[in-house]
Amino acid sequence: MTPADPVHQTVEAVYAAESRRVLATLIRLLGDFDTAEEAMHEAFRAALEQWPREGLPVNPRAWLVSTGRFKAIDSLRRLARFDALDVVSDAALAVQDDVAWADPETLEDDRLRLIFTCCHPALSSDAQVALTLREVCGLTTEEIAHAFVTPAPTLAQRIVRAKGKIRDARIPYEVPDQASLPERLEPVLRVVYLVFNEGYAASSGTSVTRCDLSAEAIRVGRLLVDLMPEPEAIGLLALMLLHDSRRAARTDAAGDIVLLNDQDRARWDRAQIAEGTGLVERALASGQPGAYAIQAAIAAVHAEAPRADATDWHEIVGLYDVLMKTAPSPVVELNRAVAVAMADGPAAGLALIDRILERGELADYRLAHAARADLCRRLGRMADARASYHRALTLSRQEPERRFLERRLAELGELT
Amino acid sequence: MKYLCLVYMEQQKLHAVPDRECVACGEGLRQSGKLIAAEALQPTETATTVRVRSGKMSVTDGPFAETKEQLAGFYLIEARDLNDAIQVAAKIPPAREGSVEVRPIRELAP
């Protein structure tokens, strides 16, 4: 059989569509990540051998789970012959009822179990991200390492350690109960948003966006909304879609940053905006809007403005006021100040930014200085603008952003 | 599965939690069948560290590591899994003043 033949292609398509579901169920049945991964690969190897002979099974996913499970139990039994029986995982050897594992609701729950386990608060934030991309999204260790500009061995070790902790500290493979759901959903959403942001505004490197990570984050976001339509999960998906809708307009042909006000709105993805605004309404309709839903609502106000100068900045300031009550932070305060500058003029915004900078929490935050520089520039305070652009430039590690700041400095009559 | 919940407190906060609260916590855990053992410790000034190197014993004053938070006591518990253990740890009264480290017990190989 060659990679070009139809069965091989079918198996590949089934792998792309089903491997994460198969893995999620095998982890539950076998009780261990590594055993489950090995079993899944065995099952796909068996599919390549048997499907050409026997034809495609009626339910390929069920076939793969069942085959993977038997392969794992076989190899555990072989091991058990050489070793004391009690070292073999009880979960793996316990003969499970075929009907029970195939119950559709249990199967859907397996995908949630996998997400909640990968994002368990007892794992470090780095480990949560790496494990989610590896196990939930199926990215390779090399792909994750590349995306986060981290050496592959470091990343591999991070994943091994996290799996070790799941096993040794016995982090359970379960969907949290209603009582602990808010505190358990929070890190899940944070991981998804972190991955999205790393893809949307890479914190370092030569390119502004890394689409793959954003696409993965949106995929997991969709999965969460499908499986567990909590208002904040809906809010987060809306927020990601609305930000992502501007992707094509955010950089020019040379890869340089185009600010929101200067973007060609014809290049915004209307389908994503429509889906995003629909989700915002759904999230807000739940009553108490959370931080993601409010941020999505702000993004929706931008998305709905036909031109930059038609933006309803007063509504945006109002939404930031709500956000400051729900999730106050210096960065939210800074964004509010920028909105105030748009609604009430640069002087009003600058006064707020200076007050925030005086408090010192954002003294090393590049965007605070860039925002201050912009407002000073618009007020004609060129020396202040230059000083703030310089400060932002020394703090920026991202190439296109540095080019943008250098361009602004050059426009102020200073060549860098 | 067994977990050891190590209670860490800053020295000056050692008495911030009344003894009777800790006694009640231990009693509650005992009744639920989750407690194996629990004790509070004397402050670190009373600690002695023992080492044996090349067969020679050395004894030094004080704890192994001087840190801001000191080991103040422990609860050895039986829990279903880490989530269950975390629920127990969160109910240990000093958790609101100091911190509780939850460590799974490793069964020694015979």
Q: Report the percentage of chain A scoring pLDDT > 70.
A: 90
A154 pLDDT more than 90: yes
How much is the pLDDT for B32?
94
A287-316 per-position pLDDT tens digit: 889 999 999 999 999 999 999 999 999 999
pLDDT band at A93 (very low <50, low <70, confident <90, very high): low
Tens-digit pLDDT profile for residues A250-291: 988 888 889 898 999 999 999 999 999 999 999 999 888 999
Find the mean pLDDT for residues A119-133.
Answer: 95
> What is the three-class DSSP state of B40?
strand
Cβ distance A170 to B1 less than 8 Å, yes or no, reads yes
Flag whether pLDDT at A84 surpasses 60: no
Per-residue pLDDT at A255 = 80
For residue A94, what pLDDT is reported?
53
Q: Which of B82, B91, B106 to mutate to test the interface with A (most CBs of A within 10 A)?
A: B82
Average pLDDT over every residue of B11-18: 86
Q: What is the C-alpha separation between A400 and A405, in angstroms, rounded?
A: 9
ipTM of the complex: 0.87
Domains and CATH numbers, chain B: 2-104 (3.30.70.1060)
Query: Closest approach of chain A CAs to the CA of B59, in angstroms?
Result: 33
Lowest mean pLDDT of A105-109, A242-246, A369-373, A394-398, name the range. Answer: A105-109
- Chain B interface, best mutation among A28, A117, A168, A170, by max B CB count within 10 A: A170
CA dihedral (A167, A171, A172, A175) positive or negative: negative
B81 with A122: Cβ contact below 8 A: no
Distances (CA, A) of A237 to A126, A295, A298, A326: 22, 11, 14, 19
Q: Which residue's entry shows tokens 């520089």?
A: A373
Residue that is written with structure tokens 């879609």 in the block = A241
In the prediction, which pLDDT does A416 show? 42
pTM of the predicted model over 0.90:
no
* Contact check, Cβ <8 Å, A169/B83: no
Backbone angles phi, psi at A108, to 5 degrees: -60, -40
Q: Which band of pLDDT confidence, cut at 50, 70 and 90, is reported for residue A168? A: very high
A139: three-class secondary structure by DSSP: coil
Determine, for residues A170 and B86 on separate chains, whether the beta-carbon distance falls below 8 Å: no
Q: Which residues of A touch B83 (CB under 8 A)?
A: 171-172, 174, 176, 180
> B104 vs A169: CB contact, 8 Å cut-off?
yes
Number of residues assigned to chain B: 110
Say whether B1 and A174 touch across the interface (CB within 8 A). Answer: no
8 A C-beta contact, residue A170 and residue B1: yes
Between CA A160 and CA A176 the distance in angstroms is 24
HSE (CB half, 13 Å, CA atoms) of A293? 21
CA distance A170 to chain B (A): 5
Instruction: State mean pLDDT over A195-224.
Output: 77
Instruction: For an interface test with A, give the residue of B5, B81, B99 to mutate (most A CBs within 10 A).
Output: B81
